[in-house]
């Protein structure tokens, strides 16, 4: 949790942290500032003290909502610095950063670097800052073990409420898509039709999904997945917009809306087959559902997450599928990890990889996905079931937005002949 | 233009470029790959050669759309590297990067660093890579002078067409908002009403704007501005969602949609006053419109952009307003730059700042904004007019999406008593 940050800094021997970038779509900055339209910002926090938020003059109102100490960049006379630096912009930027560090009470020490921003601009500036402040050591942590990923790993109840709220928006959208699809007319060749009689495409459905998420005031990253047939068999294929919607083909619908401005995410997948399913598809779906249920019945407080990846692989291998347990990066069968933490990052700690260490556990307060799947692109089919689950402090595992698992969706105006 | 990249690399003495991050919402990566849902990617391009695009296995289909040479990360056995590195993840990452550099044909030389990504992760990895490949020098360029910002500065006709298309979506949305507002009922206290008889808020209008942009398949960054009264007087205030929509107050509507996935932007502002305007507001609006027109009549091919910032400041100072010409970072009057380039970045070269050098010119092929404004938050008013303008190779300045400049919008169901 956020209150762990100072202890984590101590543990990693960091005297301060330095965060760059926008207050939104930038998890460490959003975590510390609460968001708002504040771009090109800098945040410096000394261990044990409040953060100082450096922003442009024009964004002072937005920045003030953070409740942090605000210093405007205009406090530092950049034009004057540029003159002093003989028009060397990287040096002038470093001179300004030196003044900012001093205003944040930092003259030397180990400083952790965070945030998402333009790499080259910061790399160049920090190279010059090193000349100006040799006592400052900039430290780049490995992503998954960084103090932010560790602090963010456990959520307090207000964070869980926000994830639950976005979960409700997610299932509302999924339900609306289900309702829309099952009410379509169907042509003789089993292609779904729009109101105007033309064929319904995957692209048409993508547009509806975008619209229905936007209507609820949430944000939908552009890579969400609504894919049919072969594309459903490629785990991260978004779906080919030109594909026609047909009965009896597997549809993977993986959607992860976020609060507006890149806030908390919800991650969710269902697999559908409209009208009917082929016997082979039904069998594979049933396997995915069986291991999904077995996992749900076996999640234990504080157990290593990777144990469940192993359980999933063993189950699927017993059914004759390839998995990462005994195949290097398979592209058919079960081809990915079981799950991941969800929060301000769509993928965050804990991770379920078989090589993940014991620190990736089902600790009280983590929010994880469970998402077993099977992929057979050559057979033109794929399957995945995914919910976002809160590991409650009382040890109960709570799906934050419940939704039915039906595979075959009966069509309202079509019956198998 | 993109075809200038190799020459720019030569000019800056760069033997290769290294780009990190997602293929979308990451201008250098989108520029070179064309986008698609490809996350955590790496691109390495040797000068004079095609780029190599390194991606995860699961995103191979999306990455293939780029037409670039694709190498999957799974070609490098990370678990094996991690063992060799005694579980030091930063070192294992650097060892993988070393193999990737070699596969891209690079053993030494000056390598420019670009893209938007998690700073700490890359900073830490590059520090270790330096130990493994001492012959590689990583170079971080100043943002505004980088080879990408220089290449992107001039657009070819296909890029202009894309900006024009998003411009049409922009003005369609603005027109729909105008139509919606002017058809509202009005209460005795001049507050606009919704269909259900409750007051219309700024937040309600924000929701409509989001929806209407999404319906057209475009993306709207969360910081767009629809602000009334005092908030209209703070240039980057997004507008307070709780504010009631009232007649006779200035509304600043600054909207910059982009193609889905963070593609090309359009940037646009109008200022409105519903029903009527106060004489003071009308006078200030007329000044903004007068200088806007004067600028339009004076833009010359190849002239330094800053000349027009100076012209704008001189005009406003002649009318008694503060401007950056003679006031350090004013917060009332004319408080910002005249404009900026628009492309895959909402703000890119050329820039109009008075201290910008001569290289920021109205060169054939640049796409710029012209956006004079006046801001008086204490008086509860603000004004800005902005269009996006293509500097055509034939020297003509073309507004890429025309829209009327009316300030007072007559209400359909209300007349001044």
Cα dihedral angle (A202, A205, A207, A211), rounded to 10 degrees?
-160
Confidence (pLDDT) at B371 = 98
By C-alpha distance, the chain A residue nearest B17 is A120
DSSP-assigned letters across all residues of A232-261: GGSTT----TTPBPBTTSEEEEEE--EETT
Instruction: Please write the tens of the pLDDT for every residue from A66-85.
Output: 999 999 999 999 989 999 99
Confidence (pLDDT) at A260 = 87
Q: What phi and psi, each to the nearest 5 degrees, are found at residue A259?
A: -60, 150
Confidence (pLDDT) at A16 = 98
- C-beta of residue B245 within 8 angstroms of C-beta of residue B201: yes
Confidence (pLDDT) at B94 = 97
- pTM for the whole structure: 0.91
By C-alpha distance, the chain A residue nearest B335 is A58
Confidence (pLDDT) at B221 = 84
Pairing between β-strand A381-384 and β-strand A373-376 as defined by DSSP bridges? antiparallel
Confidence (pLDDT) at B80 = 93
Nearest chain B Cα distance for residue A378, angstroms = 14
Residue of A141, A236, A324 to mutate for B, most B C-beta atoms under 10 A: A236
- C-beta of residue A44 within 8 angstroms of C-beta of residue A100: yes
Nearest chain A Cα distance for residue B109, angstroms = 16
Same fold, A2-150 and A154-409: no
DSSP-assigned letters across all residues of B143-165: GGGSHHHHHHHS--HHHHHHHHH
Q: How many CB atoms lie within 10 A of CB A332?
A: 15
Is the CB of B124 less than 8 angstroms away from the CB of A138?
A: no
- C-beta of residue A301 within 8 angstroms of C-beta of residue A364: yes
Give me the mean pLDDT over the A236-263 stretch. Answer: 93
Residue A45 DSSP symbol: E
Instruction: Please write the tens of the pLDDT for every residue from A98-155.
Output: 999 999 999 999 999 999 999 999 999 999 999 999 999 999 999 889 999 999 999 9
Query: B117: which chain A residues are within 8 Å (Cβ-Cβ)?
Result: 116, 119
Please tell me the number of Cα atoms within 13 Å of B364 on its side-chain side. Answer: 7
Q: Does B62 touch chain A (CB under 8 A)?
A: yes
Interface of B with A in 119-158 (CB under 8 A): 119-127, 138-146
Is the CB of B329 less than 8 angstroms away from the CB of A61?
A: no
Is the CB of A140 less than 8 angstroms away from the CB of B125?
A: yes
Q: Does B242 touch chain A (CB under 8 A)?
A: no
The pLDDT of residue A236 is above 80: no
B293-307 exposure pattern, b = at least 16 Cβ within 10 A, e = fewer = eebeeebeeeebbbb
- C-beta of residue B269 within 8 angstroms of C-beta of residue B370: no
Mean pLDDT of chain A: 95
Query: A60: which chain B residues are within 8 Å (Cβ-Cβ)?
Result: 234
Q: Does B328 touch chain A (CB under 8 A)?
A: yes
**Dihedral of alpha carbons A158, A163, A169, A171, sign:** negative
- C-beta of residue A39 within 8 angstroms of C-beta of residue B237: no
How far apart CA A260 and CA A34 sit, in angstroms, is 12
A367-380 exposure pattern, b = at least 16 Cβ within 10 A, e = fewer = bbbbbbbbbbbebb
Q: Does A355 touch chain B (CB under 8 A)?
A: yes
Give me the mean pLDDT over the A310-315 stretch. Answer: 98
Query: B121: which chain A residues are within 8 Å (Cβ-Cβ)?
Result: 140-143, 146
Confidence (pLDDT) at B237 = 80
**Cα–chain-centroid distance for residue B70?**
29
Find where tokens 């790399």 sit.
A123
The pLDDT of residue A374 is above 80: yes
Is the CB of B123 less than 8 angstroms away from the CB of A127?
A: no
Find where tokens 């950049």 sit.
A78
Query: B143: which chain A residues are within 8 Å (Cβ-Cβ)?
Result: 118, 120-121
Q: Does B86 touch chain A (CB under 8 A)?
A: no
| Tokens, residue A58 | 């024009």
CA nearest to A227, candidates A344, A342, A373:
A373
Percentage of chain A lying above the pLDDT 90 cut: 88
Confidence (pLDDT) at B272 = 98
Query: A236: which chain B residues are within 8 Å (Cβ-Cβ)?
Result: 37, 56, 58-59, 61-62
Please tell me the number of Cα atoms within 13 Å of A314 on its side-chain side. Answer: 9
Give the pLDDT means over successive 10-residue stretches in chain B (417 positions). Answer: 96 98 95 92 97 90 93 92 93 97 97 97 95 97 94 97 98 98 97 96 94 90 90 85 96 96 95 97 98 98 97 98 92 94 96 90 98 96 98 96 98 89
Alpha-helix runs per DSSP H in B244-387: 279-298, 306-318
For chain B, domain boundaries: 2-150, 154-409
Residue range B154-409 in CATH 3.90.230.10: yes
Mean pLDDT of chain B: 95
Provide the 3-class DSSP secondary structure of residue B269: strand
How far apart CA B120 and CA A17 sit, in angstroms, is 11
Q: Does B327 touch chain A (CB under 8 A)?
A: no
How far apart CA B251 and CA B281 sit, in angstroms, is 11
Cα dihedral angle (A327, A332, A338, A344), rounded to 10 degrees?
120
- C-beta of residue B214 within 8 angstroms of C-beta of residue B157: no
Residue range A2-150 in CATH 1.10.4030.10: no
Query: B355: which chain A residues are within 8 Å (Cβ-Cβ)?
Result: 79, 82
CA nearest to A44, candidates A15, A65, A64, A67:
A15
Confidence (pLDDT) at B247 = 98
Q: Does A259 touch chain B (CB under 8 A)?
A: no
Confidence (pLDDT) at A29 = 97
Interface of A with B in 161-220 (CB under 8 A): 207, 210-211, 214-215, 217, 219
Angle at B192 between CA B191 and CA B198, to 5 degrees: 95
ipTM for this model? 0.89
Pairing between β-strand A116-118 and β-strand A136-139 as defined by DSSP bridges? unpaired
Query: B20: which chain A residues are within 8 Å (Cβ-Cβ)?
Result: 119
Query: B140: which chain A residues are within 8 Å (Cβ-Cβ)?
Result: 90, 119-127
By C-alpha distance, the chain B residue nearest A28 is B118
């Amino acid at each position: 949790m956020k209150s762990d940050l100072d202890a984590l800094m101590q543990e990693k021997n960091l005297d301060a942290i330095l965060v760059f970038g926008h207050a939104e779509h930038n998890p460490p900055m959003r975590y510390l500032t609460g968001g708002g339209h504040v771009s090109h910002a800098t945040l410096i926090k000394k261990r044990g003290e409040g953060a100082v938020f450096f922003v442009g003059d024009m964004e002072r109102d937005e920045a003030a909502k953070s409740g942090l100490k605000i210093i405007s960049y205009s406090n530092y006379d950049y034009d004057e610095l540029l003159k002093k630096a003989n028009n060397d912009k990287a040096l002038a930027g470093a001179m300004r950063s030196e003044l900012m560090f001093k205003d944040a009470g930092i003259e030397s020490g180990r400083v952790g670097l965070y945030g998402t921003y333009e790499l080259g601009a910061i790399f160049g500036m920090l190279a010059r800052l090193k000349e100006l402040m040799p006592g400052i050591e900039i430290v780049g942590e490995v992503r998954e073990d960084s103090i932010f990923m560790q602090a963010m790993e456990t959520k307090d109840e207000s964070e869980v409420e926000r994830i639950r709220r976005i979960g409700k928006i997610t299932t509302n959208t999924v339900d609306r898509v289900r309702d829309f699809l099952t009410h379509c007319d169907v042509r003789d060749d089993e292609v779904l039709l729009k109101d105007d009689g033309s064929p319904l495409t995957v692209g048409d459905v993508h547009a509806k999904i975008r619209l229905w998420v936007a209507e609820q005031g949430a944000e939908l990253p552009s890579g969400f997945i609504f894919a049919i047939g072969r594309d459903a068999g490629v785990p991260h294929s978004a779906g080919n917009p030109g594909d026609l919607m047909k009965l009896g083909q597997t549809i993977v619908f993986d959607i992860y809306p976020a609060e507006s401005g890149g806030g908390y995410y919800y991650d969710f997948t269902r697999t559908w087959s409209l009208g009917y399913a082929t016997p082979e598809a039904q069998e594979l779906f049933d396997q995915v559902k069986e291991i999904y249920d077995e996992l749900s019945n076996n999640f234990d407080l504080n157990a290593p997450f990777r144990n469940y990846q192993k359980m999933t692989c063993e189950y699927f291998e017993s059914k004759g599928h390839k998995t990462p347990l005994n195949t290097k990066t398979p592209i058919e069968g079960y081809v990915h990890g079981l799950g991941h933490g969800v929060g301000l990052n769509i993928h965050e700690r804990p991770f379920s990889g078989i090589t993940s260490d014991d620190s990736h556990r089902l600790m009280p307060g983590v929010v994880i996905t469970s998402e077993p799947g099977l992929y057979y692109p050559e057979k033109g089919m794929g399957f995945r079931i995914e919910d976002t689950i809160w590991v409650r402090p009382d040890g109960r595992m709570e799906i934050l937005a419940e939704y039915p698992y039906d595979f075959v969706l009966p069509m309202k105006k079509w019956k198998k002949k």
